[in-house]
Amino acid sequence: MENASKALIIAGAILLSILIISLGIMIFRNASSVVNNNAMSEVEMQQFNTKFTQYEGTTVRGAQVNAMLQAVLSNNMSVDSDSRKVKVTITGTGTENIAMAITATSLPTARAATGSTYTVTCKYGNSGSQQGIVNEIQVKKNS
């Protein structure tokens, strides 16, 4: 009888230690997922990128380019992190040859000509918190 009670005590201790170890592993996994959740989910990345990729193309009208500039300005004003800000570079012919990064408070004085067409290309980040999201937009005036 004495051996049976010691066996039950040992079995209970083993079960309790397995329970404590399992609880520790569960807490560790939850904590590590919170730490790794700094990056955007796939859906968030797609929604973020769609704000800018809708303007992408080889025959984009000047009015659409100006609307895109407004969307970039709105985005840059609403985000705190510099890694989520989008840089725009516009190159063209004649007086439109400008390279600019939109500031958080204003649009550039030189705007896209509404009668012209442009090629708009989105560039994606490839490292860190910018990986997979649009971080630069290049606009080039078509000849």
Q: How large is the C-alpha radius of gyration of the chain? A: 27
Average pLDDT for residues 54-81, to the nearest whole number? 87
For residue 102, the surrounding DSSP H or E stretch is none
pLDDT of the residue at 16: 94
Cα–Cα nearest to 69, from 39, 109, 38: 109
Maximum average pLDDT range among 28-37, 83-92, 99-108: 83-92
What is the layout of strands, in order, in the sheet containing 57-61?
Answer: 57-61, 117-124, 134-141, 87-91
Encode pLDDT of 34-51 as tens digits: 555 556 678 888 888 899
Encode pLDDT of 88-100 as tens digits: 887 765 444 454 5
Range name among 49-53, 100-104, 117-121 with the lowest pLDDT average: 100-104
Q: What is the model's pTM?
A: 0.64
pLDDT of the residue at 33: 63
By the 8 A CB rule, do 48 and 97 touch?
no
Q: What is the mean pLDDT of the chain?
A: 80
pLDDT of the residue at 25: 93
Range name among 56-65, 76-85, 99-108 with the lowest pLDDT average: 99-108
Domain positions in the chain are: 2-38, 42-141
Task: Say which residue, 111 or 94, is predicted with more confidence.
Answer: 111
pLDDT of the residue at 22: 95
